[in-house]
């Protein structure tokens, strides 16, 4: 594995303020792991809006694990990242904090800053609380680090009224999906949502992973080039779908949930957290909208790939609350904890044994854990940040003005060449 070192970067004033805040919150002195596994656990998160949910969860954690979270939330992602990185260089580091999977997690692991959670994962898999595929997302050099804070599966949402009116059944093969798109277009209905900003990668990740998961994995490691013939062929398939008129206006400013509700398009590829947006738009789960796992492009694949987005809960290796943070992490993986989290937050549970109030999300959690589906890391987390930044721009430009895919791919590969050369 190539070594990737965390770069603290500029912003000295902000980092100094973060260090002072750490001292104020946790006290000074050298880190000394007390070994205590019950009590109050200092928790830092970049999900400031979720503080009420974590506070609500304290009722369950106090009763079942005798641990209470003392939550500090940040709403500015850059400020939060700087704070966490600086905390490792102070006398105190966090007992529990949220982070990112992919290269961001690997960087901290390679600096020996994150506590190992291999034993927790072994128990979770043995108990049927988590899948082997999900464990792989948290694996660096054969060991596990952190646990999933939340999880989202990227699936296809659809307008049930439109499907019913057009006599379209839920597609179970790629051929079925193409047939549905063709029928919708012939009826004057745009099949798919798309955008030219931020979430520009969904269809690319689906086409590549659905064709060959190893090909997709190779992009994240540099073993596969964006200009390789297989990737060019996949982009040409995407272009053909553009030319068939299957995608919505990439520059539309209409909220995606509202667009699905009013029939601007019949389907939208999004994470399973999208239920909340659709509910907020006035659609009823199971009545006005539903979801399905997108079939593999390649019918010969033994398992259907499903993109998974997961944000980790981590424990700092040098934290005085390391034992307490790991105790909470072990409880967090349990069915009881995930049932309580679903009650508080409403997310899909990564633990298939958890109780999920929304039948749609409950069915999805069971489906992806049935052994017939292959979980793969969402492109946003799987791709090194410098490459991702360029790729999002190029995919957005492609969506806005579809054409010969090679120039777009060459631009991404140029950045990839720079990045991987720096890792040698």
Cα end-to-end distance, the chain, whole Å: 10
3-state secondary structure of 370: coil
Residues 6+ apart with CB under 8 A from 170: 158, 163, 290, 292
Q: State the chain's mean pLDDT as an integer.
A: 90
pLDDT band at 33; cut points 50, 70, 90: low
8 pLDDT higher than 70: no
Q: What is the DSSP letter of 40?
A: E
Question: What does CATH list as the number for 153-306+380-422?
Answer: 3.40.190.10
Listed in order, strand segments (DSSP E) in 28-91 are: 39-45, 67-73
- Please, are residues 351 and 341 in contact by the beta-carbon 8 Å criterion? no
346 pLDDT higher than 80: no
Share above pLDDT 90 across residues of the chain, in percent, rounded to a whole number: 74
* Sequence ranges of the domains in the chain: 12-151+309-369, 153-306+380-422
Flag the least confident range among 68-72, 101-105, 135-139: 101-105
- Residues, the chain: 424
Indicate the pTM of the whole model: 0.79
At residue 91, the pLDDT reads: 65
| More confident site: 30 or 415 | 415
383-388-391 Cα angle (round to 5): 120
Q: Are 12-151+309-369 and 153-306+380-422 in the same CATH fold?
A: yes
Flag the least confident range among 49-58, 165-174, 268-277, 344-353: 344-353
Fold (CATH) for 12-151+309-369 = D-Maltodextrin-Binding Protein; domain 2 (3.40.190)
Q: What is the mean pLDDT of residues 342-354?
A: 85
Question: pLDDT, tens digit, for every residue of 151-180?
Answer: 899 999 999 999 999 999 999 999 999 999
Q: What is the mean pLDDT of residues 48-58?
A: 91
Q: What is the mean pLDDT of residues 117-127?
A: 97
At residue 350, the pLDDT reads: 87
311/306 Cα distance (integer angstroms): 16
pLDDT band at 137; cut points 50, 70, 90: confident
Element (H, E) at 279: helix 274-280
Listed in order, strand segments (DSSP E) in 252-385 are: 267-271, 289-292, 304-314, 373-377
């Amino acid at each position: 594995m190539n070594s990737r070192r965390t770069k603290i970067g500029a912003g000295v004033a902000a980092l100094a303020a973060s260090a002072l805040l750490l001292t104020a919150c946790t006290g000074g002195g050298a880190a000394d792991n007390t070994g205590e596994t019950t009590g109050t656990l200092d928790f830092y998160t970049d999900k400031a809006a979720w503080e009420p949910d974590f506070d609500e969860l304290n009722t369950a954690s106090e009763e079942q694990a005798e641990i209470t979270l003392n939550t500090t939330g940040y709403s500015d992602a850059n400020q939060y990242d700087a704070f966490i990185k600086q905390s490792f260089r102070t006398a105190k580091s966090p007992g529990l904090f949220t982070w990112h999977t992919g290269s961001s997690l690997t960087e901290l692991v390679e600096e020996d800053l994150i506590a190992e959670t291999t034993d927790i994962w072994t128990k979770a898999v043995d108990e049927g609380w988590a899948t082997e595929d999900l464990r792989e997302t948290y694996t660096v050099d054969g060991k596990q680090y952190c646990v999933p804070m939340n999880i989202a599966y990227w699936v296809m949402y659809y307008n049930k009224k439109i499907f019913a009116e057009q006599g379209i059944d839920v597609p179970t093969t790629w051929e079925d999906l193409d047939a549905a798109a063709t029928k919708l277009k012939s009826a004057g209905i745009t099949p798919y949502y798309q955008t030219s900003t931020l979430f520009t990668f969904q269809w690319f990740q689906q086409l590549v992973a659905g064709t060959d998961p190893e090909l997709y994995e190779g992009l994240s490691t540099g073993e596969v080039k964006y200009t390789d013939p297989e990737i060019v062929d996949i982009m040409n398939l995407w272009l053909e779908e553009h030319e068939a008129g299957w995608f919505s206006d990439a520059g539309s400013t209409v909220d995606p949930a509202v667009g699905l509700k009013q029939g601007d398009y019949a389907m939208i590829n999004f994470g399973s957290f999208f239920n909340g947006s659709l509910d907020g738009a006035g659609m009823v789960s199971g009545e006005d909208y539903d979801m399905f796992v997108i079939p593999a492009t390649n019918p010969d694949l033994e398992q259907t790939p499903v993109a998974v987005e997961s944000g980790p809960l981590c424990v700092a290796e040098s934290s005085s609350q390391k034992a307490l943070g790991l105790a909470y992490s072990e409880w967090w993986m349990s069915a009881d904890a995930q049932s309580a989290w679903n009650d508080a937050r409403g997310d899909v549970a990564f633990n298939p044994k958890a109780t999920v109030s929304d039948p749609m999300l409950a069915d999805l959690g069971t489906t992806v854990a049935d052994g017939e589906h292959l979980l793969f890391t969402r492109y946003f987390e799987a791709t090194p940040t410098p490459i991702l930044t360029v790729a999002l721009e190029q995919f957005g430009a492609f969506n806005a003005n579809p054409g010969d895919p090679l120039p777009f791919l060459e631009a991404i590969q140029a950045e990839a060449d720079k990045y991987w050369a720096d890792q040698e």
